[in-house]
Structure formats: C-alpha cells, structure tokens
Amino acid sequence: MNDNATKPIALPDESGELQQQIKDLVIARILTLPEDVSLSVGDEDLKREQLIEHVQKEDKIGKDIVDMQMEFIRDMASGALYENQ
C-alpha cells in the first residue's frame, strides 16, 4: 500500500462534519457487502451489522475499520492498487 497507512484519518482539528462524512462513506461501503459476510478481528468473527455498529460507536475496532477503508480509497485514487498489475 502507500506511506499514508500510518497516518490517522481524523486529526484533532478536523470538523465533526468531515468525520461524520467519512463514517457515512465507510458505512455505505460496508452496506454493499453481502449480509452474511463476516470479518475476523482477533478471535472474533463480525457480521456486516456488527461492523457497522463498531464504526458508529467509534470504538477501537470501528476506527480500525475506518482506517482500513480510507487507506484502500486513497490507494485506489492514487493508482497504487494498479501499479503491480
């Protein structure tokens, strides 16, 4: 991926509105997944609705999901996903 992977997506001076838009974008992306999909996080399998709940709560798992999705979007926009093809 790219060097932005270690940078946090939500800086203290970002507006709450921007953070909400990012959260809404990530939730919209999760909603495109099949209902029966699950993601393994540690020793726990999370269903689609549980992923959304974690993003909405903004807990550790939710923040990790947001970071992962935003890294993917940045890499896709920069063309980094297509460089090795």
pLDDT tens digits, one per residue of 10-60: 555 557 888 999 999 999 999 999 999 999 988 899 999 999 999 999 999
- Number of structural domains (the chain) is 1
Segment 70-75 shows an average pLDDT of: 93
State the pLDDT at residue 16.
Answer: 84
**Whole-angstrom distance, CA of residue 85 vs CA of residue 70:** 21
Residue type, 59: D
pTM, to two decimals: 0.74
Instruction: Tell me which residue range forms the domain holding 50.
Output: 14-82
Asked whether residue 21 is assigned to any structural domain, the reply reads yes
Whether 25 is covered by a domain: the verdict is yes
Going 2 to 26 to 10 to 61, the CA torsion angle's sign is negative
In a domain, 62, yes or no: yes
Task: Give the CA angle between residues 50, 18, 21 to the nearest 5°.
Answer: 45
For residue 41, give the 3-state DSSP assignment. strand
In a domain, 52, yes or no: yes
